[in-house]
Amino acid sequence: MEPFIRNSEIKGISLPELINDFDLRQLDLLHIDTEGYDWKILSQLDLGKIQPTVIMYEYKHLNDSDIANSIDRLSQKYELFRFKNDLFFRLLPFLERAPFDIIHCHFGTMGNIAVNAKNLGIFKGKMILSFYGYDATWYRLDAGYYKNIKPHFDVFITISNYLKEKIIKLGFPKEKISTIPIVVNLEDFVNQKIPQKQQVIKLLTVARLVEKKGVYYSIMAFSKIQAANSGLEYHIIGDGPLFKPLQELIDKLELENKVFLHGALDQEEVKEYYQSAAIFVYLV
Amino acid sequence: MRMSLFFRKALAEPTTFNPSFLTHWISKAFCKKAVTFLQIGSNDGLTRDPIYQLISRNNGWCGLFVEPVPYLFERLKKNYSSVNNPSRLQFFNGAVNEGVNQNFYFVDEHAK
């Protein structure tokens, strides 16, 4: 890593100077994203003189005292919202729409939001909750977690009978559960060319990066195979809490040029990887 | 992550303009046409940036980008070079701190 770290002297300026020099006293929107320095910068703003309509900063990388100070100071003049889990922001897009007849929630964990919306009178239609996997099997999403949202749904859908049994055990009423397996539109793959003899043979995994999937083991296995076979690449699509540890594992094994973590991609992008891969590594 | 992808899809507008969650909200927060912004830590201006689309599509948005890392700064300027009326945008290659020049460490663009 050493040779890749660059060091240079750069210009520094204080926030008040910056605002003054660039004539930004009528600021409407302030967006700070500096991986940990956000409050050091934002705290220089004199809210008595300059009050942007919207301030965005990231508390994720801040230390505890910076988080506390920022909340303390900003709440004197601003309403504070956390974007990621804030109910208001999650429901905002629905406020401007016509009432829906059917609300279909994908993943058990989304049920909570829909129930809140129903209680607030935003959702008035029939409610469907679909389960896909972790939402019915993860130990922290137990009967207690689902207890209060259960009565609000009209139908539950599971993608397999196995999952159906699981949610019956979680206390969902059997008669309201339907199993509808996930299907693939075969037309999407009609024109797929099977990769001819290529110089590089690509392996592909599409999975959440969580312990249950065992991506760690597939990378370790790949590391052994590639040592004996040249021209192999392993592409992994998906995101999750193990993204960083897995990237570190890849770096440690010195496989940066052979194993690629692409993060979450949309369906079209994933399709392209399916087309170019020779081997799909299915992790259950 | 998968969940948020689902969620983003649920929010997708039926138009060609599909703002992300944050972009959508910011656009709602500003009813007026002229918006002055300051972005500190702009990166390349594009990657996971919630205001890129708003700035590039709205001529009334003017303001300043601050980015210390030299090669990102160059990409930032390039990414905004083709917008309408580029003179409404200003760029500052530096860091916001107590107002002193500093040694800055960053990962080389070729490290991957």
The CATH class for the domain spanning A187-280 reads alpha beta
- Contact at CB, B102 and A266, closer than 8 angstroms: no
Mean pLDDT throughout A74-101?
78
A109, two tokens: 């964990």
Q: Look up the CATH number of domain A91-179.
A: 3.40.50.2000
ipTM of the complex: 0.81
Q: Given a cut of 90, is residue A107 above it in pLDDT?
A: yes
Q: What is the pLDDT of residues A135-148, one digit of tens each?
A: 998 888 989 899 98
Write down all domains in chain B, each with its CATH number in brackets. Answer: 2-92 (3.40.50.150)
In this prediction, residue A66 carries a pLDDT of 92
Percent of chain A scoring above 90 in pLDDT: 58
- Which residues in chain A have their CB less than 8 angstroms from residue B42's CB? 33
Q: Given a cut of 60, is residue A248 above it in pLDDT?
A: yes
Contact status of B12 with chain A (Cβ, < 8 Å): no
Q: Which of A7, A12, A32 sits opposite B101 (nearest CB)?
A: A12
What is the spatial distance between Cα A242 and Cα B109, in angstroms, rounded to a whole number? 24
What is the spatial distance between Cα B65 and Cα A23, in angstroms, rounded to a whole number? 13
Q: Give the three-class secondary structure for B52.
A: helix
**pLDDT-derived band at A22, boundaries 50, 70, 90:** very high
Q: What is the pLDDT of residues A23-35, one digit of tens each?
A: 998 999 999 999 8
In this prediction, residue A86 carries a pLDDT of 63
CB proximity list for B101: less than 8 A, separation 6 or greater? A9, A10, A11, A12
Burial of A222 by CB count in 10 Å (0-12 exposed, 13-18 middle, 19+ buried)?
buried
**Which residues numbered 99-138 in A keep a CB inside 8 Å of some CB on B?**
106-107, 109-110
Contact status of B76 with chain A (Cβ, < 8 Å): no
Q: Please identify which residue in the block is written with the tokens 């770290």.
A: A5
- Which residues in chain A have their CB less than 8 angstroms from residue B96's CB? 12-15, 18, 34, 37, 41, 44
Contact status of B112 with chain A (Cβ, < 8 Å): yes
pTM of the model: 0.56
Q: What region does B99 belong to: left with phi over 0, alpha with psi -120 to 50, or beta?
A: left
- Contact at CB, B97 and A13, closer than 8 angstroms: yes
Q: How far is B82 from chain A (nearest CA, A)?
A: 22
Asked if the domains A91-179 and A187-280 are classified in one and the same CATH topology, the answer is yes
What is the spatial distance between Cα B87 and Cα B85, in angstroms, rounded to a whole number? 6
Domain positions in chain A: 13-74, 91-179, 187-280
Asked whether B65 and B91 are in contact (CB, 8 A), the reply is: yes
A79, two tokens: 């309403």
**Which residues numbered 199-228 in A keep a CB inside 8 Å of some CB on B?**
208
Q: How far is B51 from chain A (nearest CA, A)?
A: 9
Mean pLDDT throughout A206-216?
92
Q: Which of A27, A32, A107 sits opposite B36 (nearest CB)?
A: A27
- Select the residue from A4, A7, A8, A10 to test the B interface by mutation, using most B Cβ atoms within 10 A: A10
- Contact at CB, A8 and B66, closer than 8 angstroms: no
- Which residues in chain A have their CB less than 8 angstroms from residue B89's CB? none
- Which residues in chain B have their CB less than 8 angstroms from residue A13's CB? 92, 94-97, 99
Q: Which of B90, B102, B105 sits opposite A12 (nearest CB)?
A: B102
Residues of chain B with pLDDT under 50: 1-3, 6-19, 112
Q: Give the three-class secondary structure for B24.
A: helix
- Contact at CB, B2 and A239, closer than 8 angstroms: yes
Q: What is the 3-state secondary structure (H, E, C) of chain A?
A: CHHHEEEEEECEECHHHHHHHCCCCCCCEEEECCCCCHHHHHCCCCCCCCCCCEEECCCCCCCHHHHHHHHHHHCCCCCCCCCCCCHHHHHHHHHCCCCCCEEEEECHHHHHHHHHHHHCCCCCCEEEEEECCHHHHCCCCCHHHHCCCHHHCCEEEECCHHHHHHHHHCCCCHHHEEECCCCCCHHHHCCCCCCCCCCCEEEEEECCCCHHHCHHHHHHHHHHHHHHCCCEEEEEEECCCCHHHHHHHHHHCCCCCCEEEEECCCHHHHHHHHHHCCEECCCC
A167: number of Cβ within 10 Å: 24
Which of the 8 DSSP states describes residue B101?
-
